[in-house]
Amino acid sequence: MQEDAIPATSGCSSRVVSARSVLTRLRAFYDSQKTRSLDFRKEQLCALGCAIEVRESDILEALYEDLHKPRQEAYVSEVGFVLSDISYTLQRLARWARPRRRRGPLLAWPSRGLILPEPYGTVLIIGPWNYPFQLLLSPLVAAIAAGNCVCLKPSELAPATSAVVARMVLDTFSEDYITAAEGGPETAEELTNQGFDYIFFTGSIRVGRQVMEAAARHLTPVTLELGGKSPCIVCHDVDLTLAARRILWGKCMNAGQTCMAPDYVWVDALVEREFLTALGSVLNEFYGGAPRQSPDYGRIINRGHFDRLLGYLGQGRLVCGGEHEADGLFMAPTILADVSPSAPVMQEEIFGPILPVLRFNDIDEVLVSLKRRPKPLALYVFARNRAFQARILAETASGGVCVNDTMTQAFGKTLPFGGLGASGMGSYHGKAGFDCFTHYKSVLRRSTWPDLRFRYPPTRHSLATVKRFCRLFMRR
């Protein structure tokens, strides 16, 4: 997903000192206990929401400058998404943060147990360039709600959005509480080496491995939101135009630069021709005959990614699209058919507006192929037959699944969003986001009386008696 790397060598000593001072300030603020107050957390969430609303135009303009994002799309997928996170969290935060009572073990009778939600402490959130606002600020909402102090690392590949976010954070929060560290890969490396209490990273698999390696040196827990090749399966019994419309909506959002976008499609051979025709018709419906002129279509982030995508265009039969312009970083939505499973476009995450379509005669061949591949972030299946849907769910593994649509599984707040295996670890959104940044501390409070001598040495009972005791007193 994100192609910037954290280099193996350290940056200059002055930057290391700066990164270390960031963590020192955050830790001191966290130790003051201010973030433990629910009122404080709610005030900060409200302040963040107000800051976003005041700067809405600046944010949308920055997203257009970085990625040519249409304003409506940018609002829904970035600004509005974060504002809805804040509203949802404020309504439920008191319930989420409430201690939970549990029964104590019989061995410790009389006693009572509690589970206390408490913050991890200092959190580092590293954001990507493809959704440079939402994928940085949505985790921030959850981290604030959980009571943490946070350092944000925006992506340098989206410099306009990075600057807006950094300025907004500086103007809204004490830098000892929430801060933003702009910079390149060396900044990310220095921050990950400082020993934060938690790291949340969204980006590529390659950089995710480097983040996890750095975190392991401090035994720092991590959430990794990565990517991979999310497959889409189209059965013969669905409305093909509806399927094409929903698949291309997910594929073409942000010019295909979405970690959970459908990466490629398996279509039943019985309806392959009709499906390809439907894809072409839907693209014309969406963007007309000249997508470059459409106000609803974005651009590729930079020349490096553009050139990478350009290399995929000749790896299958061009059904439609293929137009491109390097100077404007424009690449039209493109459909490829007759693609070899061994082609690079089928081995690497595409992360762009190119959609390979493969045919299948028997679903078994699709399932065998999926089991040989790394686990994707998302899997999409279009089918009316419930038994077919159930088989796909039972015989595949992925971070999440969406049936008869694409990407909408991530827009709600009640479904955890996250990867599995190579596509990541950990999840967030809604309550899952609060849980992500929260340690649930178990507490047992016990009376000082009675104090049975049975458990203390020297042993006075036979093994048979001890076994009976365990069966009776250790069942809960």
**Under 8 Å CB-to-CB from 118, ≥6 apart: which residues?**
36, 147, 438, 439, 440, 441
d(CA 384, CA 18): 57
Closest CA to 78 of 104, 111, 55: 55
Question: Residue 213 in contact with residue 225, Cβ under 8 Å?
Answer: no
- Residue 225 annotated in active site: yes
* SS3 category, 110: coil
Find the distance separating the first CA and the last CA of the chain, reported in whole Å.
Answer: 46
At 187, is the secondary structure helix, strand, or coil? helix
Whether a cis peptide bond, with omega within 30° of 0, leads into 99 is no
Which amino acid appears at position 291 of this protein? Answer: P
Closest CA relative to residue 396, chosen from 436, 366, 357: 366
Residue with tokens 């458990």: 455
Two tokens, residue 438: 């929260």
Buried residues in 403-419 as b, exposed as e (16+ CB within 10 A): ebbbbebbeebeebbbb
Identify the active-site residue in 149, 235, 259, 436. Answer: 259
Is 186 one of the catalytic residues?
no
User: Is cis: bond before 353, omega within 30 of 0?
Assistant: no
Residue 168 phi, psi dihedral angles, 5° rounding: -60, -45
Question: What is the rounded distance in angstroms from the CA atom of residue 202 to the CA atom of residue 163?
Answer: 19
Active-site hit among 190, 225, 272, 349: 225
Residue 404 φ then ψ, to 5°: 65, 30
Q: Where are the alpha helices (DSSP H) in 193-239?
A: 205-216
Give residue 249's identity as a one-letter amino acid code: W
335's tokens: 């459909």
Question: Distance between CA 110 and CA 104 in Å, rounded?
Answer: 8
Q: What angle do CA 44, 45, 50 make, to 5 degrees?
A: 95
Which sequence positions are flagged as catalytic? 225, 259
